[in-house]
Amino acid sequence: MGTDTGNFGIIVSGGPAPGINSVIASVTIEAENRGYKVYGFRDGFRGLLSDEEHSVVPLSINSVSHISRTGGSVLGTSRYNPLSHKDAGNRICSKLEKLLIDKLVVIGGEGSAYLSYRLTTLSDAVKVAHIPKTIDNDLILPNDYPSFGFETARSIGTEILATLIEDAITTNRWFIVSSMGRSAGFLALGMGLAAGATLTIIPEEFSDQYISPLEVAEIIFGSILKRFRYGKHYGVALMAEGLIDRFDASRVPELQNITRDELGRIRYADVRLEDLVAGQLRRLCKENELEVKITTKNIGYELRCHAPLSFDIEYTKFLGHGAVRFLLEGRSGIVIVRNYDNIEYVKLSEMLTADGRIAARRVDLGSDFYKVARSFMIR
């Protein structure tokens, strides 16, 4: 039995990623084995503020033992900022107290990590552990360890990209592809390198300047010209969706009055990056009397709820186990991390930037990772 009577709560926040269910199962199994009850909140932080009975579900070993290898989230998820609502703090504390929850596990990415930190400031009575989840791989973790879900997303994305490359060769066309990844280029660069994309363009290349869809199209057009000289009229150009953040909205009508999510971030899904760039690319080809078949493709949603690879299943079992262990030791305001074969934690307060947000990881253009990836491109 446990050393106190408080229960565990689990919240899944942000976009889906392979391995979420494995975390839920790991936390539940470890907590129940130690004598604690576990509750899951449906639909992320919305469930934490909801008064509906079905917003909270009891979890048990019997109900989660089969879900570790499955994609998606049995608790659902949402991008929702509960602290943006009046009196939200009191309502959150009241609901947790009603359920006797004094240990909370939040599964989420960079934006959700900030919410986890904010929750620790509401009450000392509730301990909070954050488990880093994102296919974007933009959370700063020890030894550059990836966030869970990334390895599966990269692997599945590579398979999709590889089929596009074969299609491009077979039909003599260019695919202009955008991939998820938010402001970081890890997913796109990893997929592009592994699959053998003709070139990959990431936002880190333009971190100190604004660009336009035309300038991105000109980079791809240069690649097309080089390929033409070799008699190859096909290719695949991959772009990370974070390029949208590097566009000057005043010069791109499609970005004016753009929708933002509950955390104030651009909803990339509402902007078809590949179409913006392809339109400019078709114009360049026409002006230069170059006949090129151009097809657009977005890779993203296919990756988020895929069944996790064994790497992510093993990884998430580490993280879930560690969350229970450290919360029972009285730790709070921490991010659970894996350091090779050991489970450790990093304080959320140490991950804050000067403006109070969670620091994000970006591709280092001076790293061998980027240099090797760039060496295989035709640009």
Cβ 93 vs Cβ 87: under 8 Å: no
Q: What pTM was computed for the model? A: 0.92
pLDDT digits (tens, 9 = 90+) for 240-259: 999 998 988 778 877 777 76
Instruction: Indicate the domain borders of the chain.
Output: 7-148+308-351, 153-304
Q: Is 373 helix (H, G, I), strand (E, B) or coil?
A: helix
Q: Is 85 helix (H, G, I), strand (E, B) or coil?
A: coil
Q: Are both 7-148+308-351 and 153-304 of the same fold?
A: yes
> What single-letter amino acid sits at 243?
L
Structure tokens given for 346: 């990093």
* Domain with residues 153-304, CATH architecture: 3-Layer(aba) Sandwich (3.40)
pLDDT digits (tens, 9 = 90+) for 295-347: 999 999 999 999 999 999 999 999 999 999 999 999 999 999 999 899 999 99
Helix axes of 368-375 and 186-195: crossing angle, nearest 10 degrees: 40
Structure tokens given for 7: 């229960």
Query: What residues contact residue 291 under an 8 Å CB cut-off, 6+ apart?
Result: 285
Whether 368 is catalytic: no
In angstroms, the CA 338 to CA 318 distance is: 7
CATH 3.40.50.300 for the 7-148+308-351 domain, yes or no: no
Question: Looking at the predicted structure, is the pLDDT value of residue 206 above 80?
Answer: yes
> What single-letter amino acid sits at 245?
D
| List 136, 138, 245, 312, catalytic entry | 136
φ and ψ of 49, to 5 deg: -100, -10
